[in-house]
A and B are shown apart, each in its own frame.
Chain A
């Protein structure tokens, strides 16, 4: 049961987006309008409550429809399926704004847009697209993405979830874990081995007998997003629910490219919020008769944070233009995801120290960002795995096994 929490004045602070190199000049008027609109909505509907939701481990599922109305789900998918049809930079800007408020809310949107809608758009039949995409875009259906299994995390190719062909339907067996949105999702895009042992996507719908979605409890991270399992015990799935467009690991990996690109922007948003909070606090907090922002050690932290943020901004902007041209490679996206999440975690840790004891409270967003980013650095390919991807790309030798 979701209780309506108290508005927390301090958390709904006046956020100022750092833009040291006038990089807003690289965005179009439309990107800026998108950003200010999304920011206004978040400031009104999410930011004042997010601390309470995270503290109470509540996911604001009651806002899913409104998020759909606003257009946060699948913003770069085409208009003919009920999506806005923006470019990839607009998508990035939206993810950045959402994660500036909370990585959990951004995860909810990334999963829906990049891991549920995108595979249906990219690998689905025309009928599947028409049936699911407009409802997913509007938030009338919520989806989740099942790739990770209890025994196969970094190595999804080893998955054991599989389906057999029973003539007029498929029979699905296996289990997925660590699945964002699973406890309340209406549909799941599940990656499983087909009768030939090849990985293929299949849409499983809530209510199908044998399909359950237990929640994972006790998380210290992404507490405003729900995570769970997907359990399939002889689930009969209609044949028309199989995604016909792709077989093999490149199916799920193609979606991950899209989501990881969004994460590169998103993590930067969390970092910007930490920096903006720390800068404001340091300018106001007096110790030894002067603002702590006047001490060299604090200036070093702030100056380095802003330098890192500026680098991330350039990085993601260029990656966005490559995405728009369809030229971004998986390895390039890996590099940005890895770098930006890592930088964001460092910034969060430094920013938290600037706030001293206040930094550990929910009155400020930093500790929440810091804990959230521990998930972000792990999911969608761990920090290590992305390094191995870059390593393989530059040497031509796989160090995975």
Chain B
């Protein structure tokens, strides 16, 4: 039996119009739809893939967050996780989150821990590496492929993209794998899955004491887009003139 933990981060939908609260230190969540971080969802899909390949797996979905993240975990259950865990704390600092997950993993003997390559909200890419460090397990980041040819061997075959090519690796389990596009296809929960998710356990655990090492002081919007000037393909010389006049070439 492969024990798989899928870490899920709860993020604003990709089409959200981002607005901050008064002092700019927090996202304004009114009217925002939240989804499973798409890169985490790749991990979940890959985990379910093992099941479809006929491997015996137990898939736990985990999210560090307040009660508002439960619909996101419920969705993970509907897609196919067997049980879900919510660590009841605000996920603000990556070190804190990694510590919480590591603490939960303690003694549970997960063979594979999937995370996204990053969360599309803060784009830190920090949790997976820190988590692997806390767990003293192997770590592959930005994985585009993962197989466990023989579960008995306790090794995984992993591929990742590197500049101009692909890196093929073999890593001992347990391993933390941060997922990138390519590792699996997203799945849409079906109606029977949604109904089945009702009966699957979602447990809430308390966070353990650990320091938040980083605090966000302020977010700011990217500078407004400047005026664009368009040139037709046949007017390349005009483009060059314009850039020359501005002293840019």
* A complexed with B: yes
B103-160 residues at the A interface, CB under 8 angstroms:
none
Q: With contacts defined as CB atoms under 8 Å apart, how many contacts are there between chain A and chain B in the complex?
A: 45
Residue of A nearest to B79 (CB): A37
Partner of A32, one of B71, B190, B191, B195: B71
B187-212, CB under 8 A of A: which get 1 and which 0? 01111101100100000000000000
A27-45, CB under 8 A of B: which get 1 and which 0? 0011011100100110010
A233 interfacial contact with B, CB 8 Å: no
Tally of chain A residues near chain B (CB < 8 A): 20
Query: How many whole Å from B35's CB to the nearest CB in chain A?
Result: 8
Task: Flag if A34 contacts B191 (CB, 8 Å).
Answer: yes
- Measured between beta carbons, the chain A residues less than 8 angstroms from B70 are 29
Task: Flag if A33 contacts B188 (CB, 8 Å).
Answer: no
A79 interfacial contact with B, CB 8 Å: yes
Task: Flag if B74 contacts A34 (CB, 8 Å).
Answer: no
Task: Flag if A41 contacts B188 (CB, 8 Å).
Answer: yes
Query: How many whole Å from A194's CB to the nearest CB in chain B?
Result: 36
- Measured between beta carbons, the chain B residues less than 8 angstroms from A86 are 191, 195
Partner of B195, one of A29, A40, A69, A85: A85
Task: Flag if B190 contacts A70 (CB, 8 Å).
Answer: yes
- Measured between beta carbons, the chain A residues less than 8 angstroms from B15 are 14
B11-26, CB under 8 A of A: which get 1 and which 0? 0000100000000000
Task: Flag if B71 contacts A34 (CB, 8 Å).
Answer: no
Partner of A72, one of B74, B191, B194, B198: B191
A183 interfacial contact with B, CB 8 Å: no
Task: Flag if B71 contacts A37 (CB, 8 Å).
Answer: no
Task: Flag if B188 contacts A71 (CB, 8 Å).
Answer: no
B59 interfacial contact with A, CB 8 Å: no
- Alpha-carbon distance A30/B198, docked complex (angstroms): 9
B75 interfacial contact with A, CB 8 Å: yes
Prevailing SS type, chain A contact patch? helix
- Measured between beta carbons, the chain A residues less than 8 angstroms from B84 are none
B48 interfacial contact with A, CB 8 Å: no
A254 interfacial contact with B, CB 8 Å: no
Task: Flag if A33 contacts B189 (CB, 8 Å).
Answer: yes
- Measured between beta carbons, the chain B residues less than 8 angstroms from A29 are 70-71, 74
B15, B70, B192, B198: most-surrounded residue (chain A CB, <10 A): B192
A75 interfacial contact with B, CB 8 Å: yes
- Alpha-carbon distance A30/B196, docked complex (angstroms): 11
B78 interfacial contact with A, CB 8 Å: yes
Query: How many whole Å from A128's CB to the nearest CB in chain B?
Result: 22
- Alpha-carbon distance A45/B112, docked complex (angstroms): 33
- Measured between beta carbons, the chain A residues less than 8 angstroms from B198 are 30
- Alpha-carbon distance A29/B73, docked complex (angstroms): 11
Residue of B nearest to A137 (CB): B192
Task: Flag if A71 contacts B74 (CB, 8 Å).
Answer: no
Please list 27 pairs of residues, one from A and one from B, whose beta carbons are closer than 8 Å in the complex, sorted by A's number.
A30-B74, A30-B194, A32-B71, A33-B71, A33-B74, A33-B75, A33-B189, A33-B194, A34-B191, A34-B194, A37-B189, A37-B190, A37-B191, A41-B188, A44-B188, A69-B190, A70-B188, A70-B190, A70-B191, A71-B190, A71-B191, A71-B194, A75-B191, A84-B194, A84-B195, A86-B191, A94-B191
B-to-A contact residues, CB < 8 Å: 15, 70-71, 74-75, 78, 188-192, 194-195, 198
